[in-house]
């Protein structure tokens, strides 16, 4: 970055501190505009609230939090499965001036205690399923108030609480700790301020569901603790109600009854669930015979064949985005009009789209020099959707925000049209016989075989080559007469040899009944690497 001109009248300019817009005020604005329209539907728990009722509930919870000692920037830990009162909690914590800290509810008590130590909660909101965690937290010295999901404070729409809520915040007050998955260590708390979160929500509105209003409906499928929570909050601009998927985990059998019954127009999901939506689409219905306008998927690559099948059945309603916790997903978007004409590179890897509104993508080499189109390097991001940094982690901040850019750890390149192609993760890369190998290219090729459900390639120590590639395969359900393990191994090896340079071909292929995953649903690469490294080369 160039130095500041010393002849500029702004050489010493410093922005004046300003009061911020508390993100919860967007809720009040919508409640005033369409007070009687539905905002939340949770039929599993018998809850249906209008925007005015949700606003009143947010106000009541904010008052209770403040009365319980929650001050500006205090942490409120939110641990619960999806529930209408989780939505109330998001808005209420924001209004109180506190900071939402929503770890994955599937984490163990020990993992939750570790996160609690990171963020020092002043209050806890949780469901009864996590009562043991609360007991353990209190045993470690926590003395703040505990609010139980299903029993949160309520109020009549339009009725002021006994004591008025002071919701004023500075624009740089933190308001959400967005936890990383912790795949390379304990989770880090990516910190979003009211200014950042406002930009993120408006970016989601602009890019992902620009035409949604109160006549539509948004289906909540994933845990609200992460991307689904951002997606839910973003519905406030159009006044679109959030419908919590009834019956728990979405299945091929449950998805379409819910979509049809509630007239769902948009949903945030992951490729595996999108595949279930496409697979379960009732026969005899065409691409125009449903209410879906935007099915937004993220979180993992999606095979071009799966995209094509979903497009054929559902029509042009797919939206892909790419991002990380530190940018709440807001890096790229592949719009509906790009699907069906998806650019694919020479390795067969499809693009994840172009830069989101207000976001700039920069590809840099190992010393931080910006690279030209077509050159592969680390994917970095600048823009208002990037978090303010990690809470209490100066070492991680120095590494991840070197040079003023957020370094994603992903490797890829931009083409001349601005499409981003991801070719791997820096942390996944291994070096075999002196050459860098990025597993994603190999995994994409393996997944083209119909008998491969999931594939992970890891580098393990080897005395001759330094590291070798080991492919771990979960087989797809196959009809009688499917290949034996030996035959499939031979076929997959031949496939790799036909499409890859010799040094990239995995030296070993192993099969597992079920691929291990982390608590966040991501493939457990670290664990697989450790398992298959035991007793090898330098690991002996």
> How do residues 35-45 score in pLDDT, each as one tens digit?
999 999 999 99
β-strand partners of 220: 244, 268
pLDDT of residue 506: 94
**Runs of H (alpha helix) within 151-303:** 194-207, 227-234, 252-262, 271-279
Task: Tell me the mean pLDDT in the region 46-50.
Answer: 98
The whole-angstrom separation of Cα 203 and Cα 385 is 8
- Segment among 74-78, 113-117, 274-278, 342-346 with least mean pLDDT: 342-346
Strand ranges in 323-385 using DSSP code E only, listed in sequence order: 332-334, 354-355, 360-364, 377-382
* pLDDT confidence band for 277 (50 / 70 / 90): very high
pLDDT confidence tier of residue 93, bands split at 50, 70 and 90: very high
Confidence check: pLDDT of 537 > 70: no
User: Element (H or E) spanning 182, and its range?
Assistant: none
Domain assignment present for residue 76? The answer is: yes
- Residue 520: what pLDDT? 59
For residue 482, what is the domain's CATH number? 3.30.300.30
| Average pLDDT for 244-263 | 93
Q: Is residue 270 part of a domain?
A: no
Selected residue with higher pLDDT from 299 and 331 = 331
- Candidate from 113-127, 142-156, 526-540 with smallest mean pLDDT: 526-540
As a whole number of angstroms, the distance between CA 381 and CA 409 comes to: 11
Higher pLDDT, 17 or 358: 358
Could you tell me the CATH number of the domain that includes residue 70?
Answer: 3.40.50.980
CA distance 414 to 412: 7
User: Domain range holding 140?
Assistant: 18-194
Q: According to the model, what pLDDT value does residue 478 have?
A: 62
pLDDT band at 540 (very low <50, low <70, confident <90, very high): very low
Task: Say if residue 502's pLDDT is above 90.
Answer: no
pLDDT at 302 > cutoff 90: no
pLDDT value of position 313: 95
CA atoms within 13 A on the CB side of 500: 23
How large is the C-alpha radius of gyration of the chain?
A: 24
User: In angstroms, rounded to a whole number, what is the distance separating the alpha carbons of residues 448 and 136?
Assistant: 47
- Inter-residue contact 65 to 96 (CB < 8 Å): yes
Does 486 map to a domain? yes
- The whole-number pLDDT of residue 481 equals 54
| Confidence (pLDDT) at 450 | 86
Last residue of a domain, one of 194, 223, 243: 194
Share of the chain above pLDDT 70, in %: 92
| Lowest mean pLDDT across 93-102, 234-243, 285-294, 508-517 | 508-517
Which of 26-30, 278-282, 336-340, 359-363 has the lowest average pLDDT? 336-340
Rounded (10°) CA dihedral 88, 91, 97, 102: 70
Tokens encoding 539? 């690991």
**Pair of tokens at residue 211:** 């035409």
β-bridge partners, 382: 360
Does 227 score more than 50 pLDDT? yes
Q: Which residue has the higher pLDDT, 91 or 503?
A: 91
87-91, 119-123, 327-331: least confidently modelled range: 327-331
User: Is residue 539's pLDDT more than 50?
Assistant: no
State yes or no: pLDDT of 480 exceeds 60: no
Give the pLDDT score at 491: 92
Residue 441: per-residue pLDDT: 81
> Which residues have CB under 8 Å from 405's CB, separation 6+?
362, 364, 380, 381, 382
Sheet holding 242-244, edge to edge: 47-50, 38-42, 242-244, 218-220, 266-269, 294-297, 318-322, 332-334, 354-355
Least confident of 19-33, 334-348, 446-460, 467-481: 334-348
Residue 184, pLDDT score:
45
pLDDT score, position 183: 43
Q: Which of 194, 218, 243 is the last residue of a domain?
A: 194
Which residues does 538 contact at the CB level (< 8 Å), separation at least 6?
A: 461, 463
User: Does residue 268 carry a pLDDT above 80?
Assistant: yes
Instruction: Give 439-463 pLDDT, tens digit per residue.
Output: 888 988 898 888 998 899 998 888 7
Q: If you average pLDDT over residues 250-275, what whole number do you get?
A: 93
- C-alpha 502: how far from its chain's center? 35
pLDDT at residue 161, rounded to an integer? 59
In this structure, what is the dihedral angle of CA atoms 81, 243, 324, 505, given to the nearest 10 degrees?
90
- What does each C-alpha distance from 219 to 91, 102, 265, 304 come to in angstroms? 18, 20, 8, 24
pLDDT above 50 (res 410): yes
Label residue 347 by pLDDT band (50, 70, 90).
low
- Residue 110 pLDDT > 60, yes or no? yes
- Please check whether residue 215 lies inside any domain of the structure: no
Residue 512 CB neighbour total at 10 angstroms: 14
**Alpha helix segments (H runs only) across 121-270:** 131-139, 194-207, 227-234, 252-262
First to last CA, the chain: 46
In a domain, 340, yes or no: no
Total of domains in the chain:
2
pLDDT score for 68: 96
In this structure, is residue 491 part of a structural domain? yes
What is the dihedral angle through the alpha carbons of 509, 513, 517, 519, rounded to the nearest 10 degrees? -170
Distance from C-alpha of 77 to C-alpha of 84, rounded to nearest angstrom:
17
Of 147, 165, 194, which residue is a domain's last?
Answer: 194
């Amino acid at each position: 970055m160039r130095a500041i001109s010393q002849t500029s009248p702004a050489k010493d300019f410093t922005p004046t501190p300003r009061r911020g817009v508390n993100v919860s005020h967007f809720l009040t604005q919508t409640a005033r505009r369409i007070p009687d329209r539905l905002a939340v539907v949770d039929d599993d728990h018998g809850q249906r609230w209008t925007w005015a009722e949700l606003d009143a509930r947010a106000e009541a919870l904010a008052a209770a939090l403040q009365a319980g000692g929650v001050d500006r920037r205090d942490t409120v830990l939110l641990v619960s499965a999806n529930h209408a009162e989780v939505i109330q909690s998001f808005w209420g914590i924001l209004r109180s001036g506190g900071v939402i800290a929503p770890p994955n509810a599937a984490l163990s008590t020990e993992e939750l205690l570790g996160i609690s130590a990171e963020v020092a909660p002043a209050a806890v909101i949780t469901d009864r399923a996590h009562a043991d965690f609360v007991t353990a937290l209190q045993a470690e010295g926590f003395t703040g108030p505990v609010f139980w999901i299903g029993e949160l404070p309520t109020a009549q729409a339009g009725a002021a609480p006994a004591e008025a809520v002071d919701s004023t915040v500075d624009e740089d007050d933190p308001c959400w700790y967005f936890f990383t998955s912790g795949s390379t260590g304990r989770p880090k708390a990516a910190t979003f301020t009211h200014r950042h979160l406002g930009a993120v929500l408006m970016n989601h509105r602009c890019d992902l569901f620009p035409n949604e209003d109160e006549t539509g409906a948004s289906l909540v499928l994933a845990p609200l603790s992460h991307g689904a929570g951002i997606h839910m909050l973003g519905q406030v601009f159009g006044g679109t109600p959030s419908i919590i998927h009834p019956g728990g985990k979405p299945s091929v059998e449950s998805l379409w009854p819910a979509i049809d019954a509630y007239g769902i127009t948009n949903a945030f999901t992951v490729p595996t669930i999108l595949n279930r939506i496409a697979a379960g689409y009732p026969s005899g219905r065409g691409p125009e015979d449903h209410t879906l306008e935007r099915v937004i998927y993220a979180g993992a690559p999606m095979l071009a064949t799966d995209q094509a099948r979903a497009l054929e059945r559902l029509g042009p309603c797919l939206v892909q985005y790419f991002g990380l916790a530190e940018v709440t997903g807001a890096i790229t978007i592949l719009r509906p009009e790009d699907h069906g004409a998806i650019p694919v590179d020479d390795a067969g890897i499809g693009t994840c789209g172009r830069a989101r509104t207000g976001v700039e993508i920069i590809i840099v080499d190992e010393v931080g020099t910006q690279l030209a189109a077509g050159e592969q390097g680390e994917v970095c991001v600048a823009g208002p959707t990037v978090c303010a940094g990690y809470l209490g982690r100066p070492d991680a901040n120095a590494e991840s925000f070197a040079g003023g850019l957020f370094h994603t750890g992903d490797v890829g390149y931009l083409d001349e049209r601005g499409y981003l192609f991801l070719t791997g993760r820096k942390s996944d890369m291994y070096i075999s016989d002196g050459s860098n190998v990025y597993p994603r290219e190999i995994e994409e090729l393996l997944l083209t075989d119909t008998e491969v459900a999931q594939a992970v390639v890891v580098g393990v120590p080897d005395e001759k080559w330094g590291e070798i590639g080991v492919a771990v395969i979960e087989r797809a359900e196959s009809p009688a007469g499917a290949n034996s393990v030996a035959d499939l191994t031979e076929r997959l090896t031949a496939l790799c040899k036909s499409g890859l340079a010799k040094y990239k071909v995995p030296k070993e292929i192993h099969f597992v009944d079920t691929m291990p995953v982390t608590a966040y649903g991501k493939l457990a690469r670290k664990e697989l690497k450790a398992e298959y490294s035991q007793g090898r080369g330098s690991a002996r």
